[in-house]
Amino acid sequence: MRLRLLDLDGSLPSQAPFAERLADGSAEHVDLKGMSASLRIVARRRAMEAFCERLIGEEYAAGAPEVTFYGSGDFHHLAAGLLRLANEPVTVIHFDNHPDWVSFPPTFNCGAWVNRALQLPHVRKVVTLGPCSDDLAWPELKSANLAAVREGLLEIRPWQHPPSRVLRDYDRGPAHRSQGGYIEWANLADDDWRAALDDVIAGVPTRAVWLTIDKDVLVEEEAATNWDQGGMSVDHLIEAIRLLALRKRLFGVDVCGDYSTPRFGDPFRAALAHFDHPSKPEPTPEVLRRNAATNARLLACFDEVFA
């Protein structure tokens, strides 16, 4: 396993599980704080190209399975940049409290990156596990990519969410059924977790799997993020990682969802962050220690599955 910290916001290097690995040389630190202002919340194409070029310069995907941590979920759209550098067909397994499926505007932003990933020729399917957010309410009005759901390219399995009101029919698939003006979802909380994972894995069309994890999928007792949070536990997440590693080949992993104070040099991104982020107090040092504890458990899991 090759462990890399993309340091965009300073949230990672001082955490004990990362500081120890940086000190003993088992993790790499890539200082990208100079790019942060141009990448946070939304990235222009030129900024994304510069990000990918920097990774190529760091010999990304040199052979060993790569695990990348990169700070706040405000940067989750960088997953689409990381995926561009994969060199074989992959299915993306996406753990998140938000579906990140917005079609408009067609930019690299943290609410729309799934669509950028689906445009890549080697990405065969995205499976999103765990959303509970209001993004699933009236999704057509929020420019959700329901066409990809209907076509089987995007599978959404909420942790817990009522049926979504829609105006069109979106057929049915392994995790949804469209009828009577609603999409009924296969809620993970309503099913046996192992059985649900077996069902997900049975529908993965590729041997290689890419995991992308936003820790806002977790309950607040186990993570402190810039966003509203879901209902999954770290135990659920680790069980899923282990089973996916057993049944499939984990090509790569990226993890975001740590907390950092959003700072911007331009009013556009500042306004987006103000209106998109939920109203919540800045976490105390004690609350932030939840992230270090969860990251330590994830690192131990990755050590295990990539041993």
Fold (topology level) of 2-135+204-305: Arginase; Chain A (3.40.800)
| Look-up of token digits 């969410």 | 161
Using the predicted structure, report yes or no on whether residue 62 has a pLDDT greater than 60.
Answer: no
pLDDT digits (tens, 9 = 90+) for 80-106: 999 988 889 999 999 999 999 999 888
Pairing of strands 90-95, 123-129: parallel
Q: Whole-angstrom Cα distance, residue 74 to residue 78?
A: 9
Q: Whole-angstrom Cα distance, residue 183 to residue 179?
A: 6
Which of 77, 169, 160, 62 is closest to 114 using CA atoms?
77
CA–centroid distance for 75 within its chain: 9
pLDDT digits (tens, 9 = 90+) for 246-270: 999 999 999 999 999 998 888 888 8
Amino acid present at 259? Y
Q: What is the pTM of this model?
A: 0.96
220-247 as b/e: b if 16+ CB within 10 A: bebbbbbbbbbbbebebbbebbebbbee
pLDDT digits (tens, 9 = 90+) for 68-84: 999 999 999 999 999 98
**pLDDT of 55:** 84
**pLDDT of 59:** 58
> How much of the chain, in percent, has pLDDT values that exceed 90?
87
**Beta bridge pairs of residue 232:** 218
**pLDDT of 111:** 94
Region 195-199: mean pLDDT is: 97
Q: Which whole-number Å values give the CA distances from 115 to 1, 15, 65, 143, in the listed order?
A: 28, 32, 24, 11
Q: Whole-angstrom Cα distance, residue 24 to residue 1?
A: 15
Q: Whole-angstrom Cα distance, residue 242 to residue 303?
A: 11
Measure the N-to-C terminal CA separation of the chain; round to a whole number of Å: 8
Using the predicted structure, report yes or no on whether residue 49 has a pLDDT greater than 90.
Answer: yes
| Look-up of token digits 């990774």 | 55
**Beta bridge pairs of residue 102:** 144
